[in-house]
Structure 1
Amino acid sequence: MTGIKIVTIGGGSSYTPELIEGFIQRYDELPVRELWLVDIPEGKEKLETVGALAKRMVKKAGVPIDIHLSLDRKEALPGADFVTTQIRVGLLEARAKDEEIPLKYGVIGQETNGPGGLLKGLRTIPVILDICKDIEQLCPDAWLINFSNPAGMVTEAVLRYSNITKTVGLCNVPIGMHMGVAELLDVEADRVHIDFAGLNHMVYGLEVYLDGEIVTNKVLDLLSSGAGMTMKNIVDLGWEKEFIKALNVLPCPYHRYYYQTSKMLEQEQEDLKEKGTRAKVVQQLESELFDLYSDPNLAIKPPQLEERGGAYYSDAACRLIHSIYNDKRDIQPVNVKNNGAITGIPADSAVEVNCIITKEGPKPINVGELPVAVRGLVQQIKSFERVAAEAAVTGDYHQALLAMTINPLVPSDTVAKEILDEMLEVHKKDLPQFFASSV
């Protein structure tokens, strides 16, 4: 049969309409024959709602994409060319705990950074590795495109603890930075190029170009003069002008947690009192989105979806799949095995770096040494990801404690143990590897 088969695990996500829109827009060059949306029984209602909207979108666009819904990934996977994963183990209730508990201890509560990022990784990695086993058996030639967070840690685990080699981790932060810089410069996005390098949610723009000319200093001046560039889920507190000038590279929005820790912590604690955690805000946004999705007259992606912090994830996935399928050889920032692209990071570790996208997959563009000002922080976070991935796979409490303690957002081993013990307990049902002996 002609055309390709794509399986999206976590298909009941509120982001899925963006994925559908991306496939529709690219159909002439990316002939998707089948799209399977897969979810778990707890997500059945959302899957059916999103699936019905997906079918309306495809019908309105007049493209022959067959949409299938399933609660069994083993039914969906055979013959897949691409598998995308966008899962949230424990749902938004788990995210709320990840964000709220660290704040009790005076520590940043954020779903992909610090203690929250660790616990999300501990819950997510075993499930992704189970998916990898099914891919190995049912569609061994498929590409795994993961944008489940923490994407860097998940990619690290897939590279180290599965037999999947055709895997790419994806994040919307670089595309958001790209669009943000274009907005700062008041130009079309296709005129801007950024040399990205680092890790997931720890990526830097080493140089910024406009029409091929370096404009890094101009962008940093704009950024430090009050011009905003952040994401829906990260408050923009501005930057100290002298600091940005000294840093001399473009930080990503998540760097606020590391360079403005006390201010971000204070803001989170205020937000918790006034409106609850970000997870609570997202629950309300999701409720409103699914009300929209339920409208039988809606047959497009609603613009309100861009209010979610992960907007553009799905479009980035469509762009990546399109480029692999068509051997585009364009440049995109993705999470892949380093293979020496960034000096000082192990060759077999995951990094987020500009790659040439080919039919054989992404080819990392050599960066060499990162600037000394950022190198240490990147290496520290990579150590955290490595140890955390091992803890997720083995269920080793001591490795989990080590990971928590070496994370730069956690102030001491004592605080690390207190937070870890409480978070392991509240997430017990989603962390069987840590409680196997007591079951």
Structure 2
Amino acid sequence: MKKSSILIAGGGSTYTAGIVVMLLEAKETFPVRQIKFYDNDKERQQKVAEACEIIIRERAPEVAFSYTTDPEEAFTDVDFVMAQLRVGKYALREQDEKIPFKHGVVGQETCGPGGIAYGLRSIGPIIELIDFMERYSPDAWLLNYSNPAAIVAEGTRRLRPDSKVINICDMPICLEDIMARAIGLKNRKEMEVRYFGLNHFGWWTSIQDHAGNDLMPKIKAHVAKQGYTENTPAGQHKEESWLEAMRAGKELLEIEPAFLSNTYLKYYLMADETVEHANKSYTRANEIIDGREKEVFSECERVVQQNSAKDTTFHSNEHASFIVDLARALTFNTKERMLLITENNGSIENFASDAMVEVPCIVGKNGFEPLTMGKIPTFQKGMMEQQVASEKLAVEGWMEGSYQKVWQSITLNKTVPSAKVAKEILDDLIEVNKPYWPELK
């Protein structure tokens, strides 16, 4: 059985240890011969890498491991690049959230002006990763988790249209696991879904079990009572901002009772309530800085100090399992059905062919084939057209260094009330993003 060489780009991420654990847990069905880390932050990566080196040594000593800040060393001899970049780290995420809030607009990492700001930081580094991969391992695949996936996907479509890049997101996967547990199933793999939309902007139209039984009524009944919150251990100990988004599923079902909505639609359809109830001085970024960020690096330090990971709290999760499942499907031609972000090209019949949409695809060794979702209703089509236009303008603004197009991008975003407010937000965002954005004229 083929053994793969994996490069995790963004080796210092708080998600990296979970991906490593998942790779080791999956070694019977997806064997790996080598795991590498690459990051431009040497010190941060080293803290994660030293702990992961111990985990690999104890659980799979036959797997080679290395970490580096040198592109040639990192990208040579790899089959998959698993990219999870956070350009600007949490310090800039905090600004992505707090600057819009200052102007009475939703402050969120991937939605609204904050998502556009993050996208303008992410396009260049992702293109750089693609170029490194094609120079040193031209047959490899880049599996991109880096946010905001919609803008990054449009950027890769425009700038590297022939590259072996697959853009993915774990949020629908997380929600599908919640749905499955809520109705007594083991996990999402016991369900077959139909879904259409954009990244962080979509709807489930059908969910069945493998025998073809309709599961939507049971799931909707749960969501109508308590949104996507769940009465299981997996649903406990979540940050309040996360739980608030899960609870919003109830209101989203009232707005669109025919389908099940991705929770991120809360930020577009319930923007006024989101702003009203938000803690604008202590946002989701602060929760993560004080929570997961500290927990991960504290656990890395503990593992290194005791020189053992036998009792580590690091574990696999939806984020890790999805990207490993995708790599396995590409390697072993499993024909697994997975939600991917892809150029539409008729998958949604009455939608722009060049839009980057999120739909189920069949994945095999030659790539993936999107399933046909047919025509979509006017409400969803109208929202998606506005959002796609905003995302395309953001990418064009980055490519052309155009202040006008980025301003138009923010103005078109449904979370923003006017062009005047959009301009005020943009001017504030430019100040904090100067090291990362192209100069806008």
Q: Provide TM-score, normalisation by structure 1.
A: 0.91
Q: Is the 8 A contact 2:249 2:261 kept in 1?
A: no
Q: Is the 8 A contact 2:253 2:260 kept in 1?
A: no
Q: Is the 8 A contact 2:5 2:33 kept in 1?
A: yes
Q: Bigger CA drift: 186-195 or 224-233?
A: 224-233
> Hey, what's the Cα distance between the residues in 1 that align with 2:130 and 2:311?
30
Pairwise CA distance, 1:227 = 4.3
Which residue of 2 is the match for residue 264 of structure 1? 274
CA distance 1:163–1:339, shift in 2 (3 Å): closer
Which residue of 1 is the match for residue 202 of structure 2? 203
* 1:386 correspondence with 2:384: no
> Hey, what's the Cα distance between the residues in 1 that align with 2:95 and 2:176?
32
Pairwise CA distance, 1:2 = 6.2
> Hey, what's the Cα distance between the residues in 2 that align with 1:68 and 1:98?
33
Which residue of 1 is the match for residue 57 of structure 2? 59
Aligned match for 1:294, one of 294, 301, 306: 301
Q: Bigger CA drift: 226-235 or 28-37?
A: 226-235
Pairwise CA distance, 1:223 = 0.6
Residues 118-151 of structure 1 show CA distances to partners (whole Å, capped at 9, x for unaligned) of: 0000111011112222222222211111100001
Aligned match for 1:187, one of 179, 185, 204: 185
> Hey, what's the Cα distance between the residues in 2 that align with 1:172 and 1:73?
27
> Hey, what's the Cα distance between the residues in 1 that align with 2:177 and 2:4?
30
CA distance 1:64–1:203, shift in 2 (3 Å): farther
> Hey, what's the Cα distance between the residues in 2 that align with 1:242 and 1:143?
36
Paired residue type of 1:434: E
> Hey, what's the Cα distance between the residues in 2 that align with 1:246 and 1:203?
12
Q: Is the 8 A contact 2:119 2:148 kept in 1?
A: yes
Paired residue type of 2:390: F
Paired residue type of 1:225: K
Structure 2: state its 5+ residue gaps: 231-237
> Hey, what's the Cα distance between the residues in 1 that align with 2:418 and 2:227?
35
Q: Bigger CA drift: 231-240 or 254-263?
A: 231-240
Q: Bigger CA drift: 239-248 or 51-60?
A: 239-248
- What is the root-mean-square deviation of aligned Cα atoms in Å? 2.2
Residues 62-91 of structure 1 show CA distances to partners (whole Å, capped at 9, x for unaligned) of: 352111110122321123211121111111
Which residue of 1 is the match for residue 16 of structure 2? 16
> Hey, what's the Cα distance between the residues in 2 that align with 1:242 and 1:84?
33
* SS, match of residue 192 in structure 2: strand
Pairwise CA distance, 1:245 = 7.2
Residues 288-319 of structure 1 show CA distances to partners (whole Å, capped at 9, x for unaligned) of: 2211111134526955779xxxx622221111
Which residue of 1 is the match for residue 219 of structure 2? 219
> Hey, what's the Cα distance between the residues in 1 that align with 2:284 and 2:69?
28
Which residue of 2 is the match for residue 397 of structure 1? 403
Q: Is the 8 A contact 2:100 2:113 kept in 1?
A: yes
Q: Is the 8 A contact 2:332 2:365 kept in 1?
A: yes
Which residue of 2 is the match for residue 344 of structure 1? 350
Pairwise CA distance, 1:161 = 0.8
Matches within 5 A, 1:60-139: 60-139=58-137
Q: Is the 8 A contact 1:217 1:248 kept in 2?
A: no
> Hey, what's the Cα distance between the residues in 2 that align with 1:110 and 1:242?
18
Q: Is the 8 A contact 1:29 1:326 kept in 2?
A: no
CA distance 1:215–1:19, shift in 2 (3 Å): same
Q: Is the 8 A contact 1:9 1:37 kept in 2?
A: yes
Which residue of 2 is the match for residue 34 of structure 1? 34
> Hey, what's the Cα distance between the residues in 1 that align with 2:15 and 2:38?
14
> Hey, what's the Cα distance between the residues in 2 that align with 1:135 and 1:254?
32
CA distance 1:240–1:68, shift in 2 (3 Å): closer
Q: Provide TM-score, normalisation by structure 2.
A: 0.90
Which residue of 1 is the match for residue 233 of structure 2? none
Matches within 5 A, 1:331-370: 331-370=337-376
Residues 189-221 of structure 1 show CA distances to partners (whole Å, capped at 9, x for unaligned) of: 233222122111012111121342112233222
CA distance 1:217–1:376, shift in 2 (3 Å): farther
* SS, match of residue 159 in structure 1: helix
> Hey, what's the Cα distance between the residues in 2 that align with 1:30 and 1:216?
32
> Hey, what's the Cα distance between the residues in 2 that align with 1:221 and 1:157?
39
Structure 1: state its 5+ residue gaps: none
* SS, match of residue 393 in structure 1: helix
Which residue of 1 is the match for residue 254 of structure 2? 244
- Identity rate of aligned residues, in percent? 28
Which residue of 1 is the match for residue 331 of structure 2? 325
> Hey, what's the Cα distance between the residues in 2 that align with 1:415 and 1:160?
29
> Hey, what's the Cα distance between the residues in 2 that align with 1:167 and 1:228?
31
Residues 241-297 of structure 1 show CA distances to partners (whole Å, capped at 9, x for unaligned) of: 6953743101011111122212111122xx234xx1211111112112211111134
Paired residue type of 1:244: E
Which residue of 1 is the match for residue 235 of structure 2? none
